[in-house]
Amino acid sequence: MIKHKDIASHSMYHSLESNLNNKFTLTCLLLLFLLPLVLLHLQRRRRQPKNPNLPPGPRGLPIIGNLLQLGPLPHRIFKTLSDAYGPLMHLRLGQLPTIIASSPHTARAILKTHDHKFCSRAPVVALRRLSYGGLGMAFTPNNARWKQARKLSMVELFSAKRTQYFKHVREQEVEALMSTISRARALGPVNLSEAFLCLLNNITCREVFGWRASGEGECARSGFHEMVAEGIALMGGFTAGDFFPTLERPLNALTGAHARIERCFIEFDKFLESELDSRTRQAGPEDDRDDFVSVLLRLQEDPSLDVPLTRDDIKALLMDLFFGGTDTAAATLVWGMTELVRCQRAMRRLQRELREGLGEGEKPVVEENDLERFPYLKQVVKETFRMHPPSVLLIPRECTEDCVIDGYDVRAGTRAFVNVWAIGRDPKTWDDPDEFRPERFENGDIDYKGQHFELLPFGAGRRVCPAVTLGEAIVKLALANVVRRFDWEPPEGTRREDVDTEEAFGLIVHKKSPLLLVARTPSY
């Protein structure tokens, strides 16, 4: 007969044996994943020149390199490291040799001097999948398809003529935003983060498809907003497979990144297919619509194109429009209002310019034709871009040929980030860089369209954002109307200087918490 003590001992033995087996299994799996990385690391070291003159940078750990140093806000970590190691810094992020440019001089080297060698996009997993394998314009490698997509975008989608054509759309949607704020303010603080995102989604949907994302006359969230937000979140992050390309599939399968990206892609692709099918069925000689979908479908029939425009090409371009067109301007508007409410002096000066320039209530809204009359508005927008560039590290590039920058060797295959956030906070370029001071742009010498490397919110060179003029018009128009129509204060109990500026990192850096402000009728 077996005693209770024997049963307990037997049970403990099997429990211990099971734990040991589980630990052994996990150890074996870990070794299985790490062994290829170790072998690749050793092989790469044997192939590399004995003494490459790499840019300075912190030493990394075996296998993972400097990954543990990234933190939740990489642009701030990169600036701190660059302050110690210099404006051109070398890191190893997993398997990826990486350089960080953190000064106007080194940014110029990558974006202009060696632009032809850094013109290709780094193969980031989410960007590659959501751009239909590297189609479209924003995330495509440097090839014939990208050159054609860029040409079509510049000539057909973002030309001055096309921007002017949609002026009435932007003005109508800003009026809808004003009505929404007027209703919402009676209930308490207004969520401007939500309001601006809805504004941009409505404008983008009307320009692309000809319909609004919100209900008629409203500026409110819908299911469409959630779909776009998920895509933007995925495109702004890195997966484990991005840092270890040779193990991309198993790592992203284990972490769930692959499944999440695939779900988003399938949902968005289904939506785009439905829209294109609907538009194709409605097409005919009497269809005179001139939104972006109509333009692209007409171009698809153009036999003079160097590269045929496929259905996937069109869907990838539409992805670019949504992911690049909504978040950038919405984030800029939130940051602009955040800084203005924190700096009462700047807010009052801008309100005085807008209210005196158009008269107190003589015109219900500021129109785009009025914007050139407001120089301080332009300075506020520039200062917002300096302190809060939407894409703080720009979209990563990949070096395709060996080159030398400032005497340092940069090898083909190196990933390159331009830290435009650090450039905008560089005390060598800007006095009191952490202070919101729009007056620093009074002389108008510095602009943000890619010619001045001190201010690069939209990049420069071949990869400069082609929609700068369109984005600029939306930001100025919305900001002018919101500031002119209402007086803005923090919620009760919050001082102006205590309105937080904490960031949430991504492809576009947003304010981490929603911007809630009290809107009051102006006293004039």
Is 465 assigned a ligand-binding role in the annotation?
yes
Give SS3 for 209.
coil
| Closest to 391 measured CA to CA, from 332, 438, 333, 337 | 332
DSSP 378-436: HHHHHHHHHHS-SSTT-S-EE--S-EEETTEEE-TT-EEEE-HHHHHT-TTTSSSTTS-
Helical H segments across 60-103, by residue range: 74-85
Compute how many other C-beta atoms are within 10 angstroms of the C-beta atom of residue 413: 14
CA distances from 47 to 41, 42, 261, 409 (A): 10, 9, 34, 15
Paired residues of 99 in beta bridges: 90, 416
- Give the whole-angstrom CA distance, residue 395 versus residue 384: 20
- Give the whole-angstrom CA distance, residue 131 versus residue 48: 33
Exposed/middle/buried for 147, CB within 10 Å: 0-12, 13-18, 19+? middle
Sign of the CA dihedral 305, 308, 310, 313? Answer: negative
| Closest to 458 measured CA to CA, from 336, 332, 374, 339 | 332
361-364 long-range contacts (CB < 8 A, ≥24 apart) are 364/175
Structure tokens at 143: 């090839």
Asked if residue 507 lies in contact with residue 395, where contact means CB atoms within 8 angstroms, the answer is: yes
Helix (H) or strand (E) holding 191: strand 190-191
Binding site members for heme: 465
> Per the annotation, where are the binding residues?
465
